[in-house]
Every structure is written in structure tokens, then in C-alpha cells.
Chain A
Amino acid sequence: MKAAIRVEKLSVSFAGKHVIRHLSLEIASGGPTFLVGRSGSGKTTLLRALNRLNECLPGCATSGQVELRLGEQWVDAYAATTNVENLRRRVGMVFQSPNVLPLSILRNIEMPLKVALSLPADEAEARAEQALREVHLWDEVKDRLSQAASTLSGGQQQRLCLARTLALRPQILLLDEPTASLDFKAAQRIEDLLLELKSRYTLLVVSHSLGQARRIAESLFVLHDGERIEALSKDVFQDRDALFSVMDELI
């Protein structure tokens, strides 16, 4: 197993209150690796610690070490020499609730490409189309690309956000409950998509659905109150009864 993410004694606190304490784990490349746990156990905070997004929130303090394998190189995420914008582009994150920018559908994808990657317009447009095709949204939006992204349905917005992240060509993809706010059919599409993406990205998925984890996870972690993280072996979480008995204590 080749590791892609190494977390060493990570602690994150907001306004002095610890959310994650002395957490260490190692996540394999590829995946998908699933992360489950009670709501409020710090799953989202853990994801945000990997691409240093917690820094954008008021009152946050982080200590410990996060190393990420980007390309063939290990990068110390919190080193002073690490370019944080570059890091965030390469460790893409899709939020739990769709966070489209108040721009058009096309601009949502193109703007970061043009601004953060300085791509010329035609290349940005080509990449946007490719990303929209990848998330199977192209046919639904190709005639309304200049409409506001907020006019899309929840499921479409979620796929747009995924496309926007994919277009930046990250190496690691963090997905925070990608199907939580979706109906069954939309969730199904995202699940299919994860299976397609897993060959090309290191996927770390926070999920509230054990059934989903059982269907597509390669490995699974259970986070307890931000303090203890438990790796479940594949034969445990593939076995429905064993999985549910482990999870019982979570609910």
C-alpha cells in the first residue's frame, strides 16, 4: 500500500476549544478512503486541516504535522516554505453543501482556471467542458452556461462544484458528505462518479451512509470525538452485520 497522506499528532482548536486532538493516521493513495463518525466528531475539520482551509476560519489554531504526496514528492503542508494556494489547488475539496459562487455556471469553473492557474481563455473553456462532461453535467447545462449557477438544482450544483474542483486537476480529492443533501437518484450518480474517479485521484470521502461506504470504500476510518481514529479492515466493513455492530456504538 502506497501512502498519500500522513497525519502526525494533529490538533485543531477553535477559540481554544479542541476539536481534534493528537490524531495520527495514514491514508493510502487511490482509495476511496471513507471517513465516518458522529456529527460533530470533527470530520469536516480534519478534511480542512489537510488543505489548510481551517486557517481561513476565525480563532483556529493547528499543530502537528500533515504530509501529502503530491506527484512523487512529499510536501509538508504546514511548512513555512509551502505555498498554501498551490497546496489547496492540488488538494481539492468539495464541500458538504454545494457552494457555487454567485457567478454563471461557466464562470464558476473558468474563473479559478484563469485566475489561479492563469490559463488562457480557450484552454479554460476546454477544460470547463471536459470537467462538466466528467461529472455528467454537460448535457444538462450546455445550453445555459451563462445562466446563474444558483438556478441549478441541488444535485446539479453539487456536481458543478465537483467539476470546478476537478478542472483544477488536483492530485488529492477531499469530498465532504458529497451525497448528504441529495435525493436518491442524484446520490446514485455521485456514487457512480466516485467509482470512476478512484483510479485517477486519491479520494478521501466523509460519509454518513454506511451502505455507501460498504459499496465503494477501499478502506474505512471511524473518527471518535476528534481524539481516536480507528481503521476498519475491509473484511469487517464489507460484512454488513459486523459493520453495523461496530457502528452501533457510534449512534
Chain B
Amino acid sequence: MAARLLYCAAAVSALAVLAILAFLVYFSLPLFQGDQLAALFSWHWRPLQNEFGILPMIAASLALAVSSMLVAYPLALGVCCFAHGLGPDWAARPLLVAVRLMSSVPTVVYGLVAAFSLVPLIRGASSGSGLCWLAALLTLAVLALPTIVLLLDNQFQRLESEIRLTAAALGLTRVQEMLQLTLPLSSRGLVMAAILGFGRALGDTLVPLMLAGNAPQPPLSLLDPMRTLTAHIALVVATDSQSAAYNSLFACGLILFLLTVLVNLGLRRIRTGATAHG
């Protein structure tokens, strides 16, 4: 009975994913025919002139996700190394408690706080409105940091419970243990945390919507406004728009979907690799 329920649940979720994919493909299919495609993959989003290019949004999504990971990942790794032996013992626990707390704050709160602290700061230092790639990047980095830290912390803890006493008995310091054993032995986990963090940054909607300025233009400068795929979908759906604009949203949705699938496939590859190598 329980098994049957589980099968049903599995079937329903698989069907739901397939249905979403079919739905997205069905609605965006007309766009992939003829000259529509060239129009879709152009750098100009001008709905009033019937130009629905989504390249700026794709570029912005990727640029924001990659750049926020470039900030968040080294920071998260540093926090974890600090909490696992590079820093003093008394600091480790409060640090991880604080990070756990960070992960439970709703995204919109980060957006709000950044809008009233970070954005004016950037506005004061530059000429623009302050709503730009940089503002979204830094906020998204803070948002993704706890996810990565908790993943790495989990990984390090599991490994350390195995090697801590042995390393100590052999006369290794905590720093040597971290550099020679913990880090090299968790390389798979390090990559996984990076991929998961990237996926998280890619999928986030609120932060770019609230802070990135939403101008549909290629991301050329950190101080320029940008519009991500996620924010784009939210904006167009939320504002009154022509139906032609709606159609291009399905292409955006499909691309986001495929990117997420790619991220998940990458994770699966690493996971199955882990079991194959024991």
C-alpha cells in the first residue's frame, strides 16, 4: 500500500515535470519556426515595435549567476575552512549558527535591506540610479552564501568525523588536516556545492527584480542595469502586455527549464560518479 502510494507520488511528479516541459515546448514551438527564431535571439526587446529579442536576458541571467558565485563561493569556502579548524574553536559554532540563521531569512527581506542600504551607496558612488548588476550581484551572493556554507559544512563534518582523530594521532595540525586531507578528499562535494549554488543564483527572481534595474540590455558594466530571464518573466506577466510578448516568455521559461535540467544532470553525474568510485 505504502509502496503503491510512493509509486503514485513518483509518477505524479514525473508527469508534472513532463507536462511543464510539453507545455513550454508547445507554446514556444511557433517561435522556433522561420524568421521568428532570429527575432527571438536578437539583442532588442522593444515590444511596441514588435521586437521580442531575449538575448539580453539570457546574457544577464548567466552573467549574474556566474558573477555572484565568483563572490559567494570563495567566501563560503573561507567561512567553512575557518569553522573547521583554520579559525579558533570558540568562533566556529557561533559562525555556523549565524549562517544557518541567514539561510532562514526570506529573500524579499534581503532585497528590501539592499534596496535601502546598498543601492543608495552605489548611487552615491556612481552616476546611475544604483539599481544595477552590482547591487543584484552582491545581494545574491549574500543570499547564496548560506546554501553553499551549509552544504560544505555538511561535507566537511562527515569527512572529519572519519579522519579527525587519525590526523591528530599522526601529529597533524588542524590546518594541515584541512589542506592535506579535508579539502582534497571533498573535491566532489566542492564541485557539487558550486553547481547547486549556481542553480540557486540562476533561479532567483526577487533579487534581480528588485535590485538589478530591469533594463533589457546586454550586461556590459557592473554599474549598468540588467534584466534576468526570471525577472523578465515576472515583469511581463505582471504588467499589461500584448499577447505577442507573452509568446516569447515561453521561450524564456523553456531556456530556464533546460538550464536547470543541465545543472541537475551535472549534479547527477557527480553523484553517480561518487557511488561508482566508492
State the A residues within 8 Å of B (CB). 51, 53, 56-57, 85-86, 88-89, 92-93, 95, 99, 101-102, 111-112, 115-116, 150, 164-165, 168
Contact = CB atoms under 8 A, between A and B. Distances in A.
A106 to B, nearest CB: 15
B171 A85 contact: yes
B172 A102 contact: no
Interface in B21-61: none
B164 interface: yes
A56 B171 contact: no
Contacts of B180: 111, 115
3 tightest Cβ-Cβ pairs between the two chains A and B: A89-B171, A112-B170, A116-B171
B180 to A, nearest CB: 5
Interface string B146-170: 0000000000000000111111111
A165 B168 CA distance: 12
B170 A116 contact: yes
Interface in B204-239: none
Given A88-B168, A101-B166, A168-B170, 14 more contacts: A53-B165, A53-B169, A56-B164, A56-B165, A57-B165, A85-B173, A88-B169, A99-B166, A101-B181, A102-B163, A111-B181, A112-B172, A115-B180, A116-B170
20 contacts: A51-B169, A53-B169, A56-B164, A56-B168, A57-B165, A85-B172, A85-B173, A88-B170, A88-B171, A89-B171, A99-B166, A101-B163, A102-B162, A112-B171, A115-B172, A115-B176, A116-B172, A165-B170, A168-B170, A168-B171
Nearest to B184: A103
B18 interface: no
Contacts of A53: 165, 168-169
- Max chain A CB contacts within 10 Å: which of B170, B172, B180? B170
Contacts of A93: 169
Contacts of A111: 180-181
Contacts of A95: 165-166, 169
B185 interface: yes
Contacts of B176: 115-116
Question: Could you tell me the dominant secondary structure of chain B's interface residues?
Answer: helix
Contacts of A168: 170-171
A51 B162 CA distance: 19
Contacts of A112: 170-172
B165 A99 contact: yes
A112 B163 CA distance: 13
Contacts of A89: 170-171
Nearest to B176: A115
A170 to B, nearest CB: 9
Question: Could you tell me the dominant secondary structure of chain A's interface residues?
Answer: helix
Contacts of A99: 165-166
Contacts of A92: 169
Interface in B163-208: 163-173, 176, 180-181, 185
- Max chain A CB contacts within 10 Å: which of B163, B169, B176? B169
Contacts of B185: 102
A85 B176 CA distance: 11
A243 B61 CA distance: 77
B169 to A, nearest CB: 5
Given A102-B185, A115-B180, A116-B176, A164 B165 contact: no
A112 B176 CA distance: 10
A227 B125 CA distance: 70
A88 B172 CA distance: 9
A116 B177 CA distance: 10
A116 B179 CA distance: 12
B170 A164 contact: yes
Contacts of A116: 170-172, 176
Contacts of B181: 101, 111
B270 to A, nearest CB: 17
Contacts of B164: 56
Contacts of A101: 163, 166-167, 181
A86 B171 contact: yes
Contacts of B171: 85-86, 88-89, 112, 116, 168
A80 B60 CA distance: 56
A52 B67 CA distance: 45
A51 B169 CA distance: 8
Contacts of B162: 102
A235 B163 CA distance: 42
A115 B165 CA distance: 16
Contacts of B168: 53, 56, 88
B124 to A, nearest CB: 48
Contacts of B166: 95, 99, 101
- Max chain B CB contacts within 10 Å: which of A56, A89, A92, A150? A56
Nearest to A51: B169
A56 B169 CA distance: 10
